[in-house]
Amino acid sequence: MLDAHDRVTGQVPYVMDVAVPGMLHAKVLRSAAAHARIVRLDVSRARALPGVVAVLTGADLEARSDLFPYFGPVFRDQPVLAIGKVRFVGEPVAAVAAVDLDIAQEAVDLIEVEYEELPAVFDSFDAVADGAPLVHSEPPRLGQTFADVIIHSQAGTNICNSFRLRKGDVEAGFAASEHVFEDTFTSPPVQHVPLETHVAVVSVTKAGVTCWSSTQIPYILRSQLAEIFRLPASKVRVIVLTLGGGYGGKCYPKIEPIAAVLAQASGRPVRLHLTREEEFVTVTKHGVSIRMKTGLSADGKILARQSTCHFNTGAYADIGPRLIKNGGYGTGGPHSIDNVWVDSYAIYTNLPPAGAFRGYGISQAAWAYETQMDMIAERLRMDPLELRRRNLLKNGDTVMTGEPIEDAHFRELLDTAADRIGWDFTDWDNGRELVDDGRKARAKGLSCIIKGTVTPSTSTAAAKLNEDGSLQVMTSAVEMGQGLQTAMAFIAAEAMSLPLDRVAISSVDTDFTPYDQQTSSSRSTQAMGGAIVGAIDQIKARLLELASDQLEVSPDDLEFSDGRIRPKDAPDRGLDYGEVVRRDRAGNIQGNGTFQTKGGLDPETGLGIGSVHWHQAVGAAEVEVDLETGHVKVLRYHAGIYSGRTINPVQADLQTEGNVAFGVGQALYEEMLFDNGQLQNGNLGDYMIASINDMPPDLDVGVLENHESNEIHGIGETSLPPVMPAIGNAVYRATGVRVLDLPITAEKVLRGLRARAAANDAAAAESELEPEGAAA
C-alpha cells in the first residue's frame, strides 16, 4: 500500500484519533428490554451532574419541529433515540454529552428508566405466524433510496419487505424432474467485528453540520444527516479517514445521528465511539432460513429450483429490504436453470438490526445451494464435481435473473480447484482418510458461487493536473484496508502516463470530493477506477490541445509518455505536463469523470439485469476432523476467483486470504447467541473470530484473469461464500455428519457422530436378531 510506512509506524489516523477543539464525549443508555413501552424516563439527575453538557431522549427529539428524528437507507424506521418504545436489547434510549468520558458514563448511570414489557418476537417464523406481536405498528416510512431497491412491504405484519423471482415455469420443471429434493438450511446472525468500532465526531453550528465518521457511505450519510436536520445537502460535510475495517458493517448511518443531535443540543462538537459490546448490538449479518427445493433430470441436470428465504432483519430495516433481493435471487446459484422461483422476505423481529455484511446475502444462499449440491450428488451416487460441471453456467446461458452471461469462467475455476486440492472422488462410501490411529479423519469438499454487484450504480471522480505535472485525484471512495487508494493510484498513474509517486489520491471530504454511491458490493475498483479514467481522459484532451498549440504539432501526432507529451516522430521535442500547464498559465487542468451502470430487476418477476457483470469464485477444502471431539481443522484450502483484470496482485491475495479467514470463522465458530433477545456472547472473549492458528496451513489463492475482456471484477467479497459450504462438504465426507445449520461446531459434529454410532449399533443389533436369510 502507498501509505504503508504510516501504517506500520502507527501514524495513520483513524476517525477515533480526530480531536476538535471544545469536543465533548458521548455515552449512550441502551435498552435492557427487547420490546417495551418506555413509561418513565428521568434524566434530571444526569443533567444535574457537573460536567454534563447535554442529555437527550427520544421524546426531546420528537418534540422538535426542526428535526426529523428517524433514519434508514430504505425505510426511515429507526429513531435516533427510542421514541415511545424500544424494539431490541441494546437500542439507544438516551444519550449524554459531557466534558469527559467518565462523567458521560456516570451520567448515563444516573438515568432512570421504567419499561412496560410487551410481547416480543425473535424468530422469523414466529414473527410471521398469526397473532405475532408487531415490531412496528405503523407502515414503514419510505424515503429516497437506491434505484435497484424493490419494495413489497406488507403493513400490519412483520414482513418488512419481500422479493420474488419468477423465471420459467417452476411447476412444469418439477413435473419433468426425475428427482426432487427439498432441504432447509440456516445461517445465524454474526457480527462484522471490525477492530475499529463505529466512531463519529460531529459538529453542528448555524453554518451547517460537519461529521467525521468511520463510514463506507459518505454521500448517503450526508443526505441522511441533511434529512434529520432539514438542511440542504450542501450544508452537511462528511469527512472520512481510513477505516479500521468495515466489511459492510459501516454501510449506512448508525451512530452519527446520535452524535449529531448531541452536538446540536450542546453547541459543541461531540465524539461518540462505541465499545466492543455496543458494536455487537449495532448491526449484524442476517440470520436466515432457506427452504430449497431442487428438481433434476435422470442424468443430473437441474430443471427447477424453488427457494423460500426468511431473512431475520431485526428491529429496524437498515438495508435488509435490498439485501433480501440479492440473497433471494442468489439462491439460483451458478447453475443454468430454466425454471426458478424465489420468495424472499425481510422479517422484523426484536433483535438488533441486520444489515450489509461482506457477501451480502450470497453467503447464506450459497450455504444452502452448495450444501444441497453435495447432498443431491450423494443421493444420485454421483461425483459432486461432475454434478456441478453438468450444471454450471456457460457463456450464453441465462443467469437466474434472466440475462445471458457472457464472461463465465465457472468451469475453469472449478476444474482448477479440483486439481489443486487433489480431488480424487471414487464413490460416496470412500473418500476419507483416517489418521492418528483412526482418531482423526480427513476429506475434501468443493463449492462454487456467483455474486452480483449493485446495479445500476454511479461513481464520479475529479482530477487536477498540477502546475508541476503531478496529478491529484479526488474521490469519495473509502479506504478500509482493501487497498482501494493504492488501486486507484495504479489506475490513475497508468491512465495519465505518470510515475506512481507523482499521483496522489485524496481522502473523502464531501465538501471537495465528488459523489460516490457507496464503497461496498465489491464495486469500487471497477466503478471508481472507471470514473478516474474518465476524468483523466478530459485532462488529456485539454493537455493535447494546449501542447498541440505550444509545439505546433497536430494532436494526432502527439503521444503521452512518462509525464511528457511529445511528437511521435520527435520524442526529444516533448514537454513535461507541468511545462504545458505553466506555459498556458492554466493554473491547473481539471477533469471530471462519471461511471454509471444500467440495469435493474422487474419488481414483479425479478427478471432483468441483476448485475452489470457477475463475480465468480470457487473453494476447495481439505479438513481434518477429530472423531473423539468433533473438532474441525482446515488443513488446506484453495480459493479461486475470477478478477477479469487484476490491478494489484498483492492486494488481491490479501483480500482473498482475508475472505478465507472470515469464512473459516463463520464455518466453524461464529454465531451470535440470543436468549430472549439478550445477546449472550457480545464480546471477543465469548465470540470467536479466526486467529492466525485457524488459517489453513496450506492456503492457495488462484486469481483468474481474462486479458481479452480486461474488465475489472471486484474481489472484495466473492471468495467468501464458497468457504463455508466447501468446509461443510468436506466435514460430511470425513464424518458422515451433515450439518445444515451454521456454524459447524465441534458439538454438532460430535452429536452427529454419536447419533451415527448409535444408529449403527441399533442396525447391528437388529441384523443379529433377524433370522438368517430374512434379508433376502
Partner 1 sequence: MIDHSNGNGAGRAHEAGGAGGEVAATATGDGDGRIALRLTVNGREHAVRARTHHTLLEVLRSPQIGLIGTREGCGIGMCGACTVLVDGRLVSGCLVLAAQADGRDIVTVEGLSQPDGGLHPIQAAFVEHTGFQCSYCTPGFILATKALLDEVPDPSREEARDFLAGNLCRCGSYVKILDSVMDAKHRVPAAADAS
Residues that bind partner 1 in the complex, under the rule CB under 8 A = 1, 4-5, 7-14, 16-17, 19, 102, 192-196, 242-245, 247, 275-276, 480-483, 631, 633, 650-651, 653-655, 657-662, 668-669, 683-685, 688-695, 699
Provide the 3-class DSSP secondary structure of residue 229.
Answer: coil
Residue 477 CA to residue 461 CA, distance in Å, equals: 9
d(CA 452, CA 316): 25
Q: Which residues are CB-contacts of 670 (< 8 A; sequence separation ≥ 6)?
A: 188, 190, 191, 687, 688, 689, 743
Of 223 and 648, nearer to partner 1 (C-beta) is: 648
In the complex, what is the shortest distance from the CB of residue 272 to partner 1, in angstroms, rounded to a whole number?
15
Measured from the CB of residue 424, what is the shortest distance to partner 1 in angstroms? 26
**Which one, 147 or 650, has the nearer CB to partner 1?**
650
Residue placing its CB nearer to partner 1 in the complex, 191 or 313: 191
Min separation Cβ 611 and partner 1, Å: 25
Pick 481 or 721: Cβ nearer partner 1: 481
Smallest separation (angstroms) from partner 1 to the CB of 745: 10
Q: Which is nearer to partner 1, 115 or 357 (CB)?
A: 357
- How many Å apart are CA 164 and CA 681, to the nearest integer? 35
- Residue listed under C-alpha cell 462484522: 192
Distances (CA, A) of 303 to 1, 300, 373, 450, 608: 47, 9, 13, 18, 20
Characterize 332-357 residue by residue with b for buried, 16 or more Cβ atoms within 10 angstroms of its Cβ, and e for exposed. Answer: bbbbbbbbbbbbbbbbbbbbbbbbbb
Give the nearest distance from C-beta 273 to partner 1 in angstroms. Answer: 9
- Indicate the residue among 275 and 395 with the shorter CB distance to partner 1: 275
Q: Among candidates 744, 239, 310, 248, which has minimal Cα distance to 513?
A: 239
Buried b (16+ CB within 10 A) or exposed e, 736-767: bbbbbebbbbbebbbebbeeeeeeeeeeeeee
Q: Whose Cβ is closer to partner 1: residue 480's or residue 737's?
A: 480
Side chain identity, residue 194:
P
At 182, which amino acid appears?
A: E
Smallest distance, Å, CB 365 to partner 1? 22
Cell of 560: 503521452
- Looking at beta carbons only, is 102 or 433 nearer to partner 1? 102
Relative to beta strand 236-240, strand 208-213 is: parallel
Whether the CB-CB separation of 117 and 35 falls below 8 Å is answered with yes
**CA distance linking residue 636 with residue 200, whole number of Å:** 40
Minimum CB separation from partner 1 for residue 280, in Å? 11
Sheet holding 85-86, edge to edge: 85-86, 36-42, 112-117
CB of 330 closer than 8 Å to CB of 361: yes
Minimum distance between the CB of residue 679 and partner 1, rounded to whole angstroms? Answer: 15
> At closest approach, how far in Å is the CB of 99 from partner 1?
11
Ramachandran assignment for 35, one of left (phi > 0), alpha (psi -120 to 50 degrees), beta (any other): beta
Shortest Å, Cβ 150 to partner 1: 32
Q: What angle do CA 370, 248, 5 make, to 5 degrees?
A: 115
CA distance 329 to 349: 23
Q: What is the enclosing helix (H) or strand (E) of 308? A: strand 302-314
**Cis omega (within 30 of 0) for bond into 269:** no
Cβ proximity to partner 1, 102 vs 116, nearer residue: 102
Compute the least distance from the CB of residue 646 to partner 1, in Å: 15
Report yes or no: 417 and 339 within 8 Å, Cβ to Cβ. Answer: no
CB of 10 vs partner 1, minimal distance in Å: 2
Least distance from C-beta 51 to partner 1, angstroms?
Answer: 10
Shorter beta-carbon distance to partner 1: residue 50 or 131: 50
CB of 749 to partner 1, least distance (A): 13
Q: Which is nearer to partner 1, 397 or 624 (CB)?
A: 624
Please say which residue, 197 or 331, places its beta carbon nearer to partner 1.
197
Q: Residue 357 gets which letter from DSSP?
A: -
Q: Which of 91, 115, 126, 119 is nearest to 37 (CA)?
A: 115
- Residue 703's Cβ-side half-sphere holds a number of Cα atoms within 13 Å equal to 21
Least distance to partner 1, CB of residue 73, Å: 23
Number of alpha carbons in the 13 Å side-chain half-sphere of residue 105? 6
Residues 6+ apart with CB under 8 A from 330: 361, 362, 365, 366, 400, 450, 451, 452
Question: Looking at beta carbons only, is 137 or 693 nearer to partner 1?
Answer: 693
DSSP assigned state of 142? B
**Looking at beta carbons only, is 231 or 746 nearer to partner 1?**
746
The answer to whether 485 and 492 are in contact (CB under 8 A) is no
Least Å from the CB of residue 196 to partner 1: 5
Residue number with CB closer to partner 1 (534 or 665): 665
Q: What is the nearest approach in angstroms of partner 1 to the Cβ of residue 211?
A: 20
Nearer to partner 1, 344 or 519 (CB): 519
Q: How far is the CB of 661 from partner 1 (least distance, A)?
A: 3
| Beta strand extents in 597-696 (DSSP E only) | 600-601, 608-609, 615-626, 632-644, 674-675, 678-679
- Sign for the CA dihedral angle at 723, 726, 729, 732 comes to negative
Q: Which is nearer to partner 1, 128 or 739 (CB)?
A: 739
Provide the phi-psi class of 168: left if phi over 0, else alpha when psi is between -120 and 50, else beta.
left
426 or 693: whose CB is closer to partner 1?
A: 693
Q: Calculate ∠ Cα 91-94-99, nearest 5°.
A: 125
Residues 280, 283, 289, 294, CA torsion sign: negative
